[in-house]
């Protein structure tokens, strides 16, 4: 939600009138999305920089629609060139077959098909189940 020159996340239940008077800023996966809002002009360059610097990208339940060209472009910054993808990992979590996830990622990261980078780990299920399985691999201190 826009609050002056800043933005806040608002998880409160709001009635329709309140939403119409003070609409949230939304990112829609569509070629029709208006990315001219100052929020997007601020957040996109930061996202690109962080993706270039990070080692792990986690995608949860996102179908990477072709219409969402801007978000695909931003995600591509994670491993734009094959050399960028070395020692980088993508965890792609969602209720779809691994082959489907890999095919979508290959559209965004052509180096996957060419040289096998970045490394991809797919998970067919919801994030909660994925996190539960990951926690089983974490050593728990005895005082818990």
pLDDT digits (tens, 9 = 90+) for 5-18: 877 777 788 898 98
pLDDT digits (tens, 9 = 90+) for 72-84: 888 999 998 899 8
22 in any annotated domain: yes
142 in any annotated domain: no
Instruction: Report CA 51 to chain centroid distance, whole Å.
Output: 10
E strands, the chain, are: 2-3, 6-7, 56-60, 89-94, 119-124
Say if strands 89-94 and 119-124 run parallel, antiparallel, or are unpaired.
Answer: parallel
143 in any annotated domain: no
11 in any annotated domain: yes
- The span from the CA of 117 to the CA of 120, in Å, is 8
- pLDDT value, residue 140: 84
Q: Name the 3-class secondary structure at 139.
A: coil
37 in any annotated domain: yes
Q: Does the global pTM surpass 0.85?
A: no
Contacts 24+ apart (CB under 8 A), 7-11: 7/39
- pLDDT value, residue 28: 58
Structural domain containing residue 76:
2-135
pLDDT digits (tens, 9 = 90+) for 58-104: 999 988 888 888 788 889 999 988 998 999 999 999 999 999 999 99
Instruction: Count structural domains, the chain.
Output: 1
| Pair 104, 66: CB distance under 8 Å | no
């Amino acid at each position: 939600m826009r609050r002056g020159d800043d933005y806040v996340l608002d998880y409160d239940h709001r009635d329709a009138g309140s939403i119409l008077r003070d609409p949230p800023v939304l990112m829609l996966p569509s070629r029709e999305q208006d990315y001219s809002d100052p929020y997007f002009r601020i957040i996109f360059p930061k996202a690109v920089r962080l993706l270039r610097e990070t080692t792990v990208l986690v995608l949860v339940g996102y179908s990477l629609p072709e219409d969402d060209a801007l978000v695909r472009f931003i995600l591509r910054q994670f491993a734009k060139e094959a050399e960028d993808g070395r020692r980088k990992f993508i965890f792609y979590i969602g209720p779809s077959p691994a082959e489907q996830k890999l095919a979508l990622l290959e559209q965004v990261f052509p180096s996957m098909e060419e040289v096998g980078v970045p490394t991809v780990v797919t998970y067919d299920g919801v994030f909660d189940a994925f996190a539960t399985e990951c926690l089983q691999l974490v050593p728990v201190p005895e005082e818990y």
